[in-house]
Amino acid sequence: MITINIEKKLKAYSGQQWLKVNREFTDGSITKIYGPSGAGKTTFLKIIAGLITPEKGIIKVDDITWLDTSTKISLSPQKRMVGFVFQNYALFPNMTVREHLEYATKAVGWIDRLLAIGKLETLTTHKPEHLSGGQQQRLAILRALAIKPKLLLMDEPFSALDHEMKRVLIDDLKVLFAELGLIVLIVTHNPQELDGLCSGELEIDTKN
Partner 1 sequence: MDLTPIWLTLKLACITTLILLAICLPLAWWLSKGRSFFKIIIEAIITMPLVLPPSVLGFYLLLAFSPQHGVGKWLHDTFDLQFVFSFQGLVLASVIYSMPFMMGPIKSALQQLPASLSQASYTLGKSERETFLRVLLPNIKPSLFTAMVLTFAHTLGEFGVVLMIGGNIPNVTRVASIAVYDSVENMDYSAANTYSLILFCITFVLVIGVFIFNKTQAKSPLE
Residues making contact with partner 1 (CB under 8 A): 46, 49-51, 76-78, 80-84, 86, 88, 90-94, 103-104, 127-129, 131, 136, 143-144, 146-147
Residues 6+ apart with CB under 8 A from 115: 97, 98, 101, 121, 124, 142
Nearer to partner 1, 37 or 94 (CB): 94
Nearest-approach distance from CB 201 to partner 1, in angstroms: 24
Nearest-approach distance from CB 128 to partner 1, in angstroms: 4
Nearer to partner 1, 22 or 133 (CB): 133
Cα distance between residue 88 and residue 62, in whole Å: 30
Cα distance between residue 124 and residue 172, in whole Å: 19
Exposure pattern of 177-199 as b/e (b: 16+ CB <10 Å)?
beebebbbbbbbeeeebbeebbe
Nearest-approach distance from CB 35 to partner 1, in angstroms: 21
Nearer to partner 1, 71 or 88 (CB): 88
Angle between helices 163-180 and 133-146 (to 10 degrees): 0
Nearer to partner 1, 59 or 82 (CB): 82
Nearest-approach distance from CB 45 to partner 1, in angstroms: 10
